[in-house]
Structure 1
Amino acid sequence: MARSIRFHETGGPDVLRIEDIAVAAPGPGEIRIQVKALGLNRAEALMRRGTYIETPALPSGLGLEAAGLVEALGDGVTGFAIGDAVSVLPPVSMVRCPVHGELIRFPAEFVVKHPPGLSFAQAAASWMQYLTAYGALIDIAKLTAGDIVIITAASSSVGLAAIEIARQVGATVIAVTRTVRKQAALLAEGAHHVVASAEEDLGERLRQIAGTRGVRVVFDPIGGPIFEPLTAAMAPGGILIEYGGLSPEPTPFPLFTVLSKRLTLRGYLVHEIIADAARRDAAKVFILDGLSTGTLRPVIAKVFPFEEIVAAHRYLESNEQFGKIVVTL
């Protein structure tokens, strides 16, 4: 038996339970992993609340990120050995492959031996954020040196990963956050400009920074009213990649701005990178190289012990964090 995080009803953090469950031996093509650290994402809060893109059958597990040691190998698995330090790529289906537990079975094709210098906490804090940012900025937008990119929700783990990746390719980064409280930290993490959307005129500040040239790429998980100032700041032929819907307000469609500037508004989920073997492999090469050389280094906001998973989810929903929340076992 192994402890696993489960919920029997949807709702707030208090619905989470730590329960003992049996974890079978790995099947063909699977690896069983003794988990040492978990990464928390907003997707898990949505799943727990019943508002995620998947509907769980209750009781349900959850979790997209984990790192640990190879404990057993299924038939046909090559390239791994018992005791290897590994982390998992976020599963395409959290319902089918939840990873927040002491012992998990996972398809070997989505398991990665992470660089030796990476701690379990850092490994558990890496894949969701870097895959999401890489897929949008590099795979889809083809961000290059000389581009200007707007990154909203910039203090989130994905936002910080996007800043690192944009800086790595030589782009100019405009980080958007709600207040000036995180401004210094965002500048320290590599943003060239920081705009506090709740305290400044977002449209005016973006115009001041981007000028007549405009912004070619926007990376946004919020939607809502900021769509109008974001698209107003974009360059002709620019692309806005939307990977969430955090705003509780309706998202307007800026029709005439889109038409006049020939803009692309692109919905995006990281699953399209994970599910495509060629794109996934290219992403792994890019990210592992960055993690190995230190050009990519996950920012960890706070670490909680496994027994405090409810408190970790409360902190996740507080929006106070700067970077990734990690749970250790």
Structure 2
Amino acid sequence: MKAVLCKQYGPPSSLVVEEVPAPMPGAGQVLIEVHAAGVNFPDTLIIQGKYQFKPELPFSPGAEVAGVVKALGEGVAGLRVGARVIAATTWGGYAQQVLAPAERVIPMPHDMDFETAAGFLIAYGTSHHALKDRGALKAGETVLVLGAAGGVGLAAVEIAKALGARVIAAASSDEKLAVCREHGADATINYATQDLRERIKALTDGRGVDVVYDPVGGDLSEPALRSMAWRGRFLVVGFAAGPIPSIPLNLALLKGCSIVGVFWGAFVRAEPRRNEEELRELVGWVREGRLHPRISGVYPLERCAEALQQVMDRKVTGKFVLTTGA
């Protein structure tokens, strides 16, 4: 089978596509014939050795896939060979076949195509867990989404709207903000041309926002934290800008707010039953037409470096996916 391989840590251009032996499922594992794989920001970190997990070299990146069950390991129940599924894999998904733990495999909605399904699980799973579980977002509250045009950002915009919140989307260009409005944003901030804090003040009549969803980090985190309403929740989702900000902790005291970590992958492993409940709700929202995943680019495996580089350069709205030719 074909697979993208990381043989040494480095930039996307260092990846190669080669023929490798097909894996065999062990106990509790599902072998999936991959039709499409989502491209995510953590994929750019794991190939550089900068992610929380460091697989043994060589390995294939790719944390989420959509495909067809090819074989089942011992003890796997509730799935059948030939079923169309979505799976979270952490790595290994940029290949024509991949193994996934059975508890991280869910049925695909019947009316969803493989490309859309491949870009769904991580972005929407992360944002749902962040806003509903960690952020306890309530109807009528106001949420600020930083990096709102990216994969997790657009998912957060849609999920916040589904939960009945008012959404302020912040991104780096007017073109990106137009996409955010298409996905339900009530108000927007161009933080390349507008002062983030002043714009938040104007949009909230000086009150501030109840929840900040921050997958960006860098220079945006502190002004967003300073713009919190009383008892607000600041959700630390990621650091797409690169630098991990140093936050003055007195701000949490003065605002009476919480700074809350969001690590969906760890949540999936630590609380699998609760994750299953959250995913069932998300799939239900897709079927009801409340969520509309945006796939803005589809690439073959051979062009994975190009797709990853655009993600690193923050040029993507929504999600990119890779197709395997399966």
TM bucket normalised to smaller: over 0.9
Q: TM-score of the superposition, structure 1-length normalised?
A: 0.94
Specify the SS of the correspondent of 1:230: helix
Unaligned runs of 5+ in 2: none
Which range is displaced more, 294-303 or 125-134? 294-303
Give the aligned partner of residue 228 of structure 2: 234
Give the aligned partner of residue 148 of structure 1: 142
- In structure 2, do the counterparts of structure 1 residues 184 and 69 end up closer, same or farther at CA, with 3 Å as the change threshold? same
Matched, 1:274 2:268: yes
Q: TM-score of the superposition, structure 2-length normalised?
A: 0.94
Matched, 1:328 2:313: no
- In structure 2, do the counterparts of structure 1 residues 79 and 55 end up closer, same or farther at CA, with 3 Å as the change threshold? closer
Deviation at 1:22, TM superposition (A): 1.4
Matched, 1:120 2:120: no
Q: Equivalent residues in 2 for 1:250-261 (5 A)?
A: 251-261=245-255
Which range is displaced more, 274-283 or 195-204? 274-283
Q: 1:166 aligns with which of 153, 160, 168?
A: 160
Give the distance between the partners of 2:232 and 2:129, measured in 1 at CA.
17
Q: 2:211 aligns with which of 183, 208, 217?
A: 217
Runs of 4 or more consecutive aligned structure 1 residues displaced over 6 Å after TM superposition:
none
Give the aligned partner of residue 285 of structure 1: 280
- In structure 2, do the counterparts of structure 1 residues 78 and 249 end up closer, same or farther at CA, with 3 Å as the change threshold? closer
Give the distance between the partners of 1:224 and 1:312, measured in 2 at CA.
23
What do the CA deviations read for 1:124-162 (whole angstroms, capped 9, x no partner)?
010000110011100111111101000001011100000
Deviation at 1:248, TM superposition (A): 4.2
Q: Equivalent residues in 2 for 1:1-329 (5 A)?
A: 2-91=1-90, 94=91, 98-249=92-243, 251-275=245-269, 276-329=271-324
Two-structure CA RMSD over aligned residues (Å): 1.5
Structure with the bigger RCO (C-alpha within 8 Å, sep 6+) is: 2
Amino acid at match of 2:238: G
Specify the SS of the correspondent of 1:31: strand
Specify the SS of the correspondent of 1:257: helix
Give the distance between the partners of 2:29 and 2:219, measured in 1 at CA.
45
Which range is displaced more, 168-177 or 25-34? 25-34
Deviation at 1:90, TM superposition (A): 4.5
Whether contact under 8 Å (1:216, 1:234) holds in the other structure is yes
Specify the SS of the correspondent of 2:47: helix
- In structure 2, do the counterparts of structure 1 residues 197 and 311 end up closer, same or farther at CA, with 3 Å as the change threshold? same
Which range is displaced more, 145-154 or 315-324? 315-324
Unaligned runs of 5+ in 1: none
Whether contact under 8 Å (2:149, 2:177) holds in the other structure is no
Whether contact under 8 Å (1:210, 1:233) holds in the other structure is no
Amino acid at match of 2:261: G
Give the distance between the partners of 1:213 and 1:227, measured in 2 at CA.
18
Percentage identity across paired residues of the two chains = 32
